[in-house]
Amino acid sequence: KTVCVTGASGFVASNLVKLLLQQGYSVKASVRSPNNLTKTEHLLKLDGAKERLHLFKADLLENGSFDAVIDGCDGVFHTASPFFNTVTDPQKELIEPALKGTLNVLDSCSKASSVKRVVVTSSLAAVVYNARPKTPEVVVDETWFSDPQLCKEMKWWYALSKTLAEDAAWKFAEEKGMDIVTINPAMVIGPLLQSTLNTSAEEIAQLLNGSETYPNSSLAWVNVKDVANAHIQAFEIPSASGRYCMVESVVHNSELIEILRRLYPASQLPQKCADNKPHAPTFQVSNEKVKSLGIDYITLEQSIKETVESLKEKNFVK
Ligand code: NDP
């Protein structure tokens, strides 16, 4: 079978391309700059790449840019979307590529009669950012949606970009009668295949790079190999539908530091929380739905270990 992966040079997509090639798929992959080896070399070196990986140039903001890479594919994995926390022009840097890009990709899919299903990489950021209280007893599930108005007020621009993009995807799919599924992962960590540092792995790198304090926040985490596998299962299992939240565990940064200290006792980790306020509460995320994709999560400790090994190997941490 032939499938398309958009934004193939990225952290999540590279792991997805690797798994697809391992499973015998032919992969048409979109990248912004096919000739930039810094972005593509790791893909070209994957097992099976020589025979079954084909790179195409496409940009989220260019209409029709994805026609050629999607044409003839049985399935499409739309992962391309900017993920940055620091931006100067959120509309230009995050919202337009996420929102217009998703509609641009889906439009190309609707023109390709070969495409049976589109798996869209959304985010837990399109699920949890609403006014509902988050406490250790609360169980978030796929019925939750982030509130764009709140995201705007709080200047949570990345969350806003993912919320608007997912909402537009569902509306487009309904209008066109298109079969789409979304995967809504938490912060994704695990082995980095690409040679650049992505935003979620950077969260871990920052804790290991000599800062004195850790932020008073609780974050949800999941391993990139589970996320890649869930994308493929969501394409292959005929009854898969709707959204799938993916969270192995939600922990306060203090717990993350404890795990890092246990694994790497010699490393220089932040000693104290950035403020003296009560710890930001954790919450739960339901695993019920993702179980139907056969996902048995890799533990947070193992995911942290794999991330740090990668970060060290690539000299992103000392
Ligand atoms: P990366 O930054 O590693 O990858 C993002 C990808 O999007 C890159 O390939 C990038 O291309 C591409 N991209 C960005 N802007 C454009 C554009 N204008 N045109 C074409 N391609 C573009 O991030 P991740 O791998 O972490 O994220 C991948 C997906 O997963 C995103 O949709 C993200 O929202 C989602 N996600 C990620 C999570 C995480 O914790 N990492 C959590 C939940 C969801 P280039 O290499 O050329 O810059």
Ligand 1 centre to CA of 105 (Å) is 14
Give the closest residue (by CA) to ligand 1 atom 5: 10
Q: Which atom of ligand 1 is nearest to the CA of 187?
A: 40
Q: Which residues pair with 237 in a beta bridge?
A: none
Cβ atoms of residues 258 and 280 within 8 Å: no
Query: Please, what is the angle between helix 253-263 and helix 300-313, to 10°?
Result: 70
Contacts of 91 (CB under 8 A, 6+ apart): none
Distance CA 128, CA 140 (A): 7
Mean pLDDT rounded to a whole number for the chain: 97
pLDDT exceeds 90 at position 273: yes
Per-residue pLDDT band for 293 (boundaries 50, 70, 90) equals: very high
* Average pLDDT for 187-209: 96
Indicate if ligand 1 lies below 6 Å from the C-beta of 12.
Answer: yes
* ipTM, two decimals: 0.99
The confidence score (pLDDT) of residue 207 equals 94
Per-residue pLDDT band for 30 (boundaries 50, 70, 90) equals: very high
Residue found by looking up tokens 């919450």 in the block: 283
pLDDT tens digit sequence for 72-119: 999 999 999 999 999 999 999 999 999 999 999 999 999 999 999 999
The confidence score (pLDDT) of residue 171 equals 98
Long-range contacts of 110-115 (CB under 8 A, 24+ apart): 110/172, 110/176, 110/178, 111/67, 111/70, 112/67, 112/70, 112/71, 112/72, 112/73, 114/71, 114/72, 114/73, 114/74, 115/70, 115/73, 115/74, 115/75, 115/76
**What is the C-alpha radius of gyration for the chain, rounded to an integer number of angstroms?**
19
The confidence score (pLDDT) of residue 299 equals 98
pLDDT exceeds 90 at position 294: yes
Indicate if ligand 1 lies below 6 Å from the C-beta of 121.
Answer: yes
Per-residue pLDDT band for 192 (boundaries 50, 70, 90) equals: very high
pLDDT exceeds 90 at position 210: no
Per-residue pLDDT band for 297 (boundaries 50, 70, 90) equals: very high
What is the CB-side half-sphere exposure of residue 240 using CA atoms within 13 A? 28
Q: Which atom of ligand 1 is nearest to the CA of 36?
A: 47
Best mutation site among 4, 9, 12, 192 for ligand 1, i.e. most ligand atoms within 8 A of its Cβ? 12
DSSP three-state, residue 101: helix
The confidence score (pLDDT) of residue 211 equals 87
The confidence score (pLDDT) of residue 216 equals 97
* Average pLDDT for 250-254: 97
pLDDT tens digit sequence for 140-162: 999 999 999 999 999 999 999 99
The confidence score (pLDDT) of residue 318 equals 83
What per-residue string of b and e applies to 83-99 under the rule 16 or more CB within 10 Å gives b? beeebeebeebbbbbbb
Contacts of 294 (CB under 8 A, 6+ apart): 233
Residues in the chain: 318
Ligand 1 centre to CA of 7 (Å) is 6
Q: Which one, of 70, 83, 77, 66, lies nearest residue 11 by Cα? A: 83
The confidence score (pLDDT) of residue 106 equals 98
The confidence score (pLDDT) of residue 122 equals 98
